[in-house]
Structure 1
Amino acid sequence: MAKLLSLLPFSILLLFSLCSAKPNPNSLKAAHTELTAFGFPVGLLPSNVADYSINHTSGDFSIKLSDQCMLTLPPDNYLATYSKIVRGKIVKNKIAQLDGIRVRALFQWWSITGIRSSGDDLVFEVGMLSAKYPAKNFKESPPCEGLKADS
């Protein structure tokens, strides 16, 4: 019995690792290729992209992550959460009707509703407010910090 109990933690760990979804590297690369084609850096998407779809006529898109994601956004180290599904509408240098990304600032969570790109800078929109950051801070796709967030 003691031998069985000592194997229990190992069995649970093995089961968890087999059940956890892993991002598809082809989806990640393809999603990032789409993002750059619209004038945005790859670092706007976390590294756990599992799948995505885009309607090139309407600009409607949906990105499926392998799980919810929490990460730190540069350059001011704001904590951000990505829902398992991120949706919006994308055209050249503009993402609108964004749903699924929230950022913590001034002691509360805010939904990022849009992002604009001028090439050198990104402007993040939170309702009527906006903040501008250098696009060079988003060159690489950030990894999730391993914590789930309620999004």
Structure 2
Amino acid sequence: MDPKILIVFVLFLNLISKSFQNPNPDPKIPKSTPSPAHLELASYGFPVGLLPDTTVLSHVINQTSGDFSVKLGGACKITLPPDNYVATYSDTITGKIVKGKIAELDGIRVRAFFKWWSITGIRSSGDDIVFEVGVVTAKYASKNFDDSPACEGQHSSS
């Protein structure tokens, strides 16, 4: 992978982690009530903020294989200031989940350098979250994802 792209990817993930930080100054007032899918994500050791704050129509996890599917109320995007990077969530997110690891992830993409990059895996390691884009990884504090980001609207992921 081109070193310039790697640097942009790391900067992008840093922007994501900062944009997901809790904007609610009063921690006693929850930003929103997590859905059962958000809570199940937490039961596998992940912060609920990895899923957007949108309607979850359904979610299924095969307890034997770890295969999962989350059906959202629609696809959505999140614009990450100040450089206007965009992250998109498809209306269906799939993958394999076990305690502390999501693999074969499909349905979450980020745009950097005029190209869409699929996030292919996520690992929870203590107080950190490690994002995988192919063989490239970036680590951030999981507390940055304590609250789910709000979707800005529908998108086309082309």
The verdict on a shared fold, with TM-score over 0.5 as the criterion, is yes
The offset of 1:108, in angstroms, is 1.5
* 2:119 is equivalent to residue 86 of structure 1: no
Deviation at 1:124, TM superposition (A): 0.6
Contact 1:68 1:83 in 2 (8 A): yes
Q: Is it true that 1:108 corresponds to 2:120 in the alignment?
A: no
One-letter code aligned to 2:88: T
Q: Which of 31, 40, 50 is 1:34 aligned to?
A: 40
Unaligned runs of at least 5 residues, structure 2:
1-31
For the pair shown, the structure with the greater C-alpha radius of gyration is 1
Counterpart residue number, 2:75: 68
Q: Is the 8 A contact 2:49 2:146 kept in 1?
A: yes
Pair 1:88–1:73, CA change in 2 (3 A): farther
> Structure 1: how far apart are the matches of 2:103 and 2:143?
21
Secondary structure of 1:36's aligned partner:
helix
Across the two proteins, how many residue pairs are aligned to each other?
A: 125
| 2:102 counterpart of 1:95 | yes
Q: Once superposed, what is the RMSD of the aligned Cα atoms?
A: 2.2
Instruction: Write the distance in 2 (CA, Å) between the matches of 1:73 and 1:136.
Output: 18
Contact 2:102–2:123 at 8 Å: present in 1 too? yes
Task: For residues 64-120 of structure 1, give each alpha carbon's deviation from its aligned partner in whole angstroms, at most 9, with x where no partner exists.
Answer: 01111101469x974210111100000010000001110112331100000001131
CA contact (8 A) 1:70 1:149 kept: no
Identity of aligned residues (%): 65
Match of 1:124 in 2: 131
- Does the aligned pair in 1 maintain the 2:129–2:141 contact within 8 Å? yes
Instruction: Give the 3-state SS of the residue equivalent to 2:35 in structure 1.
Output: helix
Distance 2:98 2:84 in 1: 27
* More helix, by proportion: 1
**TM-superposed deviation, 1:150:** 1.8
Q: Which amino acid aligns with 1:43?
A: G
- Length-normalised TM-score, structure 1: 0.75
Q: Which residue of 1 aligns with 2:50?
A: 44
